[in-house]
Amino acid sequence: MKTELVKRAFKYRFHPTNEQAAELSRTFGCVRQVYNLALEARTVAWFQRQERVNYNATSAMLTQWKKTEELAFLCEVSSVPLQQTLRHLQAAFSNFFEGRAKYPRFKSKKRNRRCAEYTRSAFTYRDGALTLAKMKSPLAIVWSRPLPEGTEPSMVTVSQDSAGRWFVSMLCEDASVRPFPALDTAVGIDAGITTLVALSTGEKITNPRHERRDRTRLAKAQRVLAKKEKGSRNRDKARIKVAKVHARIADRRRDFLHQLTTRLVRENQTIVIEDLTVRNMVKNRSLARAISDAAWTDMRSMLEYKCTWYGRNLVAIDRWFPSTKLCSACGTVQDKLPLNVREWTCGCGAAHDRDVNAACNILAAGLAVTACGAGVRPQRESSRTGQPAVKQEPLTAK
């Protein structure tokens, strides 16, 4: 039986020429304009006439918009990114109607990510040179790693972050992604702040606190930004300096999490985690900054798609499972266990490290549920897996 190849995105930095940067900036603006026009048309049609407008109708609208004098500039850029943004809007409405997301919002020039998506008909890729539609020369890409041998990108996404850096992401089939050899090891993971993760094996991995390392530099850049007049060129330069500090922090954090999650997936067949609601936890003003810096959601997302890629099992136990207050030796649940108590002794005489004990209980709960045939795959679908989204109920371990 032939196995389906995994589609994987390879992201690179590139340095556009002035002409290429101008063309891409126009494309970003047109993509945002078309998305907002289509969203407005669909909203008005529903609230005023109770009509549902689909992708085909908005595509026909786009053709008419290009013929008007006001929107004639839409003809100056490639039509493929404009069609792709209409498809993204259709997906956003589908998610809304099926209860997976809120109602789509208008794209903002300042807040939203600047990007454009090109399908195979809108670019050429020959001998490592990528040329987009409406461009005369290929992009000057910094090839930090090669694409999989014998493959070509099926889709290209060009983006620019708030720090002014340009990126190109190429979606390719990667034959090198195949299941790892099966193991008989399993590990439970307890996420924390001081200790980023505590493993049921007794190992603790300290939180690098990437944001704290650059906090002084970030505060200085933000103070300079606050003094600049709104709308001035100096304010825009100061904003970019702030964005560069944030980008530096995010890059270090992402690199650390990739190394950590890849190691966990390589060394264990089954990984058990808690189903944490980070969105609610960051409402605590005292811990919001530290929780955001720990990036538990990013870590879980990486574990999800890497387990899918490499044939590992990821189990998420219920967030209300008392993993911290439960004695892993006798099963007694403590009445109270304040945060400042890092080590405690149970009535049975067992001495526990708070985090390691929690990780052991998480592992036991996950294995118990899996043994009963209620194993769970990741609840959230990642675009990296290439698999269709499946709505699943959260796992409860009692």
Q: What is the distance between the alpha carbons of residues 225 and 236, in angstroms, rounded to a whole number?
A: 8
> Which residues belong to the active site?
190, 274, 355
Give the total number of structural domains in the chain.
Answer: 2
Please indicate, yes or no, whether residues 39 and 115 belong to a single structural domain of this protein: yes
Order of strands, sheet of 313-317, starting from the edge strand that comes earlier in the sequence: 204-206, 195-199, 186-191, 270-274, 313-317
Indicate if 190 and 319 belong to the same structural domain.
Answer: yes
Query: Does residue 78 lie within any of the structural domains?
Result: yes
Three-state helix/strand/coil letters over 243-262: HHHHHHHHHHHHHHHHHHHH
Query: Does 167 share its domain with 201?
Result: no
Is position 301 within any domain?
yes
The confidence score (pLDDT) of residue 320 equals: 85
Q: Which domain holds residue 255?
A: 186-207+250-371
Give yes or no: residues 140 and 11 share one domain. yes
> Residue 18 has which token pair?
């002035």
Tell me the average confidence (pLDDT) per consecutive run of 10 residues in the chain, 398 residues long: 78 96 96 96 91 93 95 95 97 93 92 92 93 95 92 95 95 91 94 93 93 94 96 94 96 96 95 91 90 94 94 90 86 84 84 90 87 48 43 38
104 and 190, same domain (yes or no): no
- The answer to whether residue 202 sits within a structural domain is yes
User: Are 170 and 190 found together in one domain?
Assistant: no
Q: 193 and 280 share a domain?
A: yes
Residues 143 and 279 in one domain: no
Provide the pLDDT for residue 335.
Answer: 83
Residues 164 and 295 in one domain: no
Instruction: Look at residue 2 in the predicted model and tell me its pLDDT.
Output: 53
Strand (E) or helix (H) holding 173? strand 166-174
How would you write 102-117 as a 3-class SS string?
CCCCCCCCCCCCEEEE
- Residue 150: predicted pLDDT: 86
The pLDDT value given to residue 398 = 33
Residue 381 is predicted with a pLDDT of 43
Q: Is residue 222 part of a domain?
A: no
Concatenating the DSSP letter of every residue in 51-88 gives ----HHHHHHHHHHHHHSSTTGGGGGS-HHHHHHHHHH
